[in-house]
């Protein structure tokens, strides 16, 4: 088993990814290689950077990768803000995505500041 697989942040992020993937499925076909793809890459990047950070060996590198994960999470929110304006998602979906993203951001921040 890898060192990160049973960590709460890893498990919470995986749940967030599955949730986001289920939402972008409803985007129009013309967004397949546009906004939909960008959001999926950004949300996957959150988990990939957390995983990489766990295996880097130093606190400084771990924190660095957590900040990158935070950037990817911001990218997801920006993508969904556009999707909301384009009416690809409902206001209720936007609100739920935002709440879930805020919770994940707080979790990542707690780890960052506990390691600093």
Q: CA 88, CA 69: separation in Å to the nearest integer?
A: 25
pLDDT at 44: 98
CB 56 within 8 A of CB 112: no
Average pLDDT of 24-32? 93
Query: Tens digits of per-residue pLDDT, 47-94?
Result: 999 999 989 879 999 999 999 999 999 999 999 999 999 999 999 999
What Cα–Cα distance (Å) separates residue 88 from each residue in 60, 81, 91, 102, 109? 39, 10, 10, 21, 30
pLDDT at 23 over 70: yes
Domain ranges of the chain: 8-115
Query: Tens digits of per-residue pLDDT, 96-116?
Result: 999 999 999 999 999 999 977
DSSP secondary structure letter of residue 87: T
Fold classification of 8-115 is de novo design (two linked rop proteins) (1.20.1440)
Residue of 3 and 37 predicted with greater confidence: 37
The model's confidence at residue 2, banded by pLDDT at 50, 70 and 90, is low
Q: CA 104, CA 16: separation in Å to the nearest integer?
A: 8
pLDDT at 15: 97
Cα end-to-end distance, the chain, whole Å: 27
């Amino acid at each position: 088993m890898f060192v990160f697989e049973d960590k709460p942040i890893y498990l919470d992020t995986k749940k967030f990814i599955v949730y986001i993937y289920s939402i972008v499925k409803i985007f129009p076909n013309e967004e397949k290689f546009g906004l939909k793809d960008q959001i999926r890459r950004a949300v996957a990047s959150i988990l990939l950077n957390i995983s990489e950070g766990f295996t880097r060996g130093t606190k400084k590198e771990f924190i660095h990768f957590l900040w990158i994960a935070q950037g990817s999470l911001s990218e997801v929110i920006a993508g969904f803000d556009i999707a909301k304006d384009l009416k690809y998602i409902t206001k209720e979906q936007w609100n739920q995505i935002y709440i879930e993203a805020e919770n994940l951001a707080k979790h990542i921040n707690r780890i960052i500041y506990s390691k600093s």
